[in-house]
Amino acid sequence: MLRTTKTEFPVDKVRRLLEPGPIVLVSSAHKNATNIMTMGWHMVIEFQPSLVSCVISSANHSFEMIRRSRQCVINVPTVELASTVVKIGNCSGRDVDKFAEFDLTPAPATQVRAPLIDECYANFECELVDASQVKKYNMFIFEVVQAHVATAPKYPRTIHYRGNGEFMISGENTRRYRKLFRPEML
Amino acid sequence: MLRTTKTEFPVDKVRRLLEPGPIVLVSSAHKNATNIMTMGWHMVIEFQPSLVSCVISSANHSFEMIRRSRQCVINVPTVELASTVVKIGNCSGRDVDKFAEFDLTPAPATQVRAPLIDECYANFECELVDASQVKKYNMFIFEVVQAHVATAPKYPRTIHYRGNGEFMISGENTRRYRKLFRPEML
């Protein structure tokens, strides 16, 4: 899955990658510095505009970088990056240049200054559109303004966190229940 | 997984079941009626108090029931219930008594009037603590006030929605990355 070919992806369909609940990497840029954090608390909240809500602890170095730059990229890593995902969560951008430290490739985004992480399966360029819940809940609401998704494999093997150092790795993907859906409920 | 033995579970640890991102069933009660809806958009936002944010479309019959009763139960189904989960999402509580229609067992909760769905792996009793984002985003913030989780199996096989009738079924669970975590980052 590392450094695969990607294609533009419709922003109103990012639920395809985010709704199953993977751990993501959030990249940011502010004042000539970049950073990456590991994030587990996120959800899609609207298709169009494509809105994603997430919680970023104010203890994270990324918190102020994202709050001030009003941008980030949500990157979806696969299981090959699991050790890196943990190590990124272990250290702070105050002390470490995470792209260099973890040998990740920053690729230019098209709509934001924050870099894409090239080794991830999907990259969602985000603009902060609502910071009203940041003070109370550390909750940010982003609009996905551009999306890039790997052309293969069809289904990524994503990692999903349970706390306490335990991960669930995504399993079988199936359309076997599709015939049960009423068309407007898909 | 149907009608298994359950035990009380610490509310500050519901991330164990919710953070991996499964589709959930939300049960509610209002004015002598009960209802169930299928929900994919939820995230943990705080450990203590145990807060969960979710999006419930105002088109759902459950929307007004939950907004008015200020309560619900978030139930985590396993793959054995996948067909039922789809069918619950296909119909409305306006027309159907979903517990009866789908042969699900309403069990009494301890802190709320909304019933637990006995056939689900986990049941989280919730009180609505913040409705300030309901008008703008259909976003509810609940506090989990009591949690019940099956004693076996250790890991449920949950279903995760990708849109377009496709599900991902949870795969391997692993602690193999645990040794990489700094203790305070678990």
What DSSP assignment string belongs to B15-74? HHHHTT---EEEEEEETTEEEEEEE--EEEEETTTTEEEEE--TTSHHHHHHHHH-EEEE
Could you tell me if B43 lies within 8 Å of chain A, comparing CB atoms? yes
Q: Which of residues 91-110 of B touch A (CB under 8 A)?
A: none
B139 close to B157: Cβ distance less than 8 angstroms: no
How far is CA A145 from each of CA A46, A129, A149, A150, B64, rounded to the nearest angstrom? 13, 11, 14, 17, 32
Mutate to test the interface with B, among A102, A155, A177 (most CBs of B within 10 A): A177
How far is CA B106 from each of CA A184, B29, B75, B119, rounded to the nearest angstrom? 28, 11, 11, 9
Per-residue model confidence as pLDDT tens digits over A136-173: 999 999 999 999 999 999 999 999 999 999 999 999 99
Instruction: Write down the mean pLDDT value for chain B.
Output: 97
Residues with Cβ within 8 Å of residue A59, at least 6 apart in sequence: none
Q: Is the per-residue pLDDT at B1 higher than 60?
A: no
Could you tell me if B12 lies within 8 Å of chain A, comparing CB atoms? no
Q: What is the pLDDT, as a whole number, of residue A3?
A: 66
Tokens representing residue A145 in the block: 């303004």
| C-alpha–C-alpha distance, residues B118 and B25, integer Å | 11
| Band (A2; pLDDT cuts 50, 70, 90) | low
* Residue with token string 């105002």: B58
**Contact: B43, A44; criterion CB under 8 Å:** no
Average confidence (pLDDT) over A31-43? 97
Size of interface A-B (CB pairs under 8 A): 180
| Band (B2; pLDDT cuts 50, 70, 90) | low
| Band (A186; pLDDT cuts 50, 70, 90) | confident
Q: What is the pLDDT, as a whole number, of residue A4?
A: 75
Task: Give the ipTM of the model, two decimals please.
Answer: 0.97
How far is CA A78 from each of CA A58, A95, B10, B129, rounded to the nearest angstrom? 26, 26, 30, 35
Burial of B126 (0-12, 13-18, 19+ CB in 10 A): buried
Could you tell me which of A53, A61, A18 has the C-alpha nearest to residue A134? A53
| Band (A25; pLDDT cuts 50, 70, 90) | very high
Q: If you count DSSP H runs as helices and E runs as strands, how many of each does chain A have, helices first? A: 5, 12
Q: Is the per-residue pLDDT at B134 higher than 70?
A: yes
| C-alpha–C-alpha distance, residues B114 and B164, integer Å | 30
Q: Is the per-residue pLDDT at B40 higher than 90?
A: yes
Could you tell me if A128 lies within 8 Å of chain B, comparing CB atoms? no
B142 close to B126: Cβ distance less than 8 angstroms: yes
Q: What is the pLDDT, as a whole number, of residue B4?
A: 74
How far does A91 lie from chain B, in Å, by closest CA?
9
Per-residue model confidence as pLDDT tens digits over A49-105: 999 999 999 999 999 999 999 999 999 999 999 999 999 999 999 999 999 999 999
Instruction: Name the region of B155 (left: φ>0; alpha: ψ -120 to 50; beta: rest).
Output: beta
| C-alpha–C-alpha distance, residues B39 and B63, integer Å | 12
Per-residue model confidence as pLDDT tens digits over B75-101: 999 999 999 999 999 999 999 999 999
**Contact: A167, B174; criterion CB under 8 Å:** yes
How far does B30 lie from chain A, in Å, by closest CA?
25
| C-alpha–C-alpha distance, residues A71 and A84, integer Å | 23
Q: Is the per-residue pLDDT at A1 higher than 80?
A: no
Average confidence (pLDDT) over B118-140? 98
Sign of the CA dihedral B108, B23, B78, A83? negative
Find chain A residues with C-beta within 8 A of B89's C-beta.
181, 185
Per-residue model confidence as pLDDT tens digits over A94-126: 999 999 999 999 999 999 999 999 999 999 999
Q: Is the per-residue pLDDT at A183 higher than 70?
A: yes
Q: Quick check: helix, strand or coil at residue A82? A: helix
How far does B52 lie from chain A, in Å, by closest CA?
10
* Percent share of chain B, pLDDT over 70: 98
**Is the bond preceding A49 in cis, omega lying within 30 degrees of 0?**
yes
Average confidence (pLDDT) over A170-184? 96
How far is CA A75 from each of CA A27, A80, A81, rounded to the nearest angstrom? 7, 14, 12
